[in-house]
Amino acid sequence: MKKLLYSSIILGAGLFAFGIQGNNVLTVKAADEVSAEGADSVSSDKIENHESVEKVDSQLVKEATTEDTNESSKEEPQEKSSQDSVPVSNDEENPVNPQQVATNRINKTKDRIPYIEIRPTDEAIQKAVEQDPTKPLANVDDPAYEGDLLVPYTYYGNGAAYVLDSNGQPIADSNTETGYQENRFEDIYTEIDGIRNTSSDFTGIVYGVIGDEEPTNKKEKMLKALKREGAFFMEYRNHGYSNLEELEMYVDAFKSKLKEIQSLNDDGTPVVKTPVIETTPITGTTTFSHHHSSSTTQSNAQTNDKLPLVVVAIRQAKLYSADGTEVTDRGLSDASVWMVDKVSTINGQKMYRISANEWVAESDVI
């Protein structure tokens, strides 16, 4: 009986111990699983957080780059390093120098020479004045920077007239009139004889357009502007033309414009030409009636002119009616020929009648 009791006690203790051990095993296993899940959760959170950080960093970098770009675009353009040379775009589609005012002069590159506009140095300009104040360096300022040209042309820059360095810039030389090393005429033009003959003749036309005195009316101002354009174009160092064909084209256009301006009235308006009217000579004394008491007309019997007369206008001449009123819609063109049938003095001025009621002053004809 005791033996059986002892066996039961021993068996019960063994089962109790086994139960505790199994429970521990389950507890440890569960703890391990919980630990593993926690680790996976933490790892997942790290990856997600890392990806989120990368996205934020990428966005910040992008924004910073955008801000830098915007700030860069807001910066003021750099000033030109030299005022003596003005390089422009070599783009054939959009070659016009944005600084020039003239819209009718197109600037382009040619013969692999970079487009560049070289102006004599300030020192060279001052030196010329100091040597002879009456002979300053001529044709320095480009008319294209002041307004549209009267005679437009395509311009290839004047880089061909100078010796350029590897960067396409003129090389300084204080011994020349421009302050830069210059190429010879023979180095630029191949048709030397043709160009020299044409340019020599044209130079005479340009400088004969109008004198150096200050213009007094619109017509003279237009002529002076045309003269200045032609002189700048013809200046060797400005290189307005690169071959004989370009020179001849400009000469023809210049002559046409010159003729057009010369035919204008002094105020720049076109002259209305009046056709020559054949009239019957009038003999004896003729008395005119007047509408204005201030007008005084004398008969042609008081003159020694033999009628009919043929006169030639020596300028764009105004016409007047018999009472001395100016005719505003008609006039005589320079060098036109007219038949005169009456000679009278109107308002103290000798007049010739060229049509029924149109008179021209004696001072305007020969």
> Is 23 within 8 Å of 17 (Cβ atoms)?
no
Helix axes 192-207, 218-234, angle to 10 degrees: 160
Helix, strand, coil tally for the chain in percent (to 5): 40, 15, 40
CA 142 to chain centre: 10
> Is 28 within 8 Å of 34 (Cβ atoms)?
no
pLDDT on residue 42: 39
The CATH number of the structural domain formed by 271-366 is 2.30.30
pLDDT on residue 209: 86
pLDDT on residue 128: 94
pLDDT on residue 12: 53
pLDDT on residue 80: 39
pLDDT on residue 126: 95
Residue spans per domain, the chain: 1-75, 85-262, 271-366
What are the φ/ψ torsions at residue 76 (nearest 5 degrees)?
Answer: -70, 140
Q: Are strands 154-155 and 116-118 parallel, antiparallel or unpaired?
A: unpaired
pLDDT on residue 180: 97
Per-residue pLDDT of the chain (366 residues; tens, 9 = 90+): 444 445 554 555 554 444 544 444 444 444 444 444 444 443 444 344 444 444 444 444 444 444 444 444 444 444 433 445 655 444 444 445 667 888 999 998 887 777 899 999 999 999 999 999 999 999 999 999 999 999 999 999 999 999 999 988 999 999 999 999 999 988 888 788 889 999 999 999 999 888 888 899 999 999 999 999 999 999 989 999 989 999 999 999 999 999 999 998 888 888 765 554 444 333 333 333 333 333 343 433 344 566 777 888 888 888 998 888 888 888 888 878 888 888 889 888 899 998 888 989 988 888
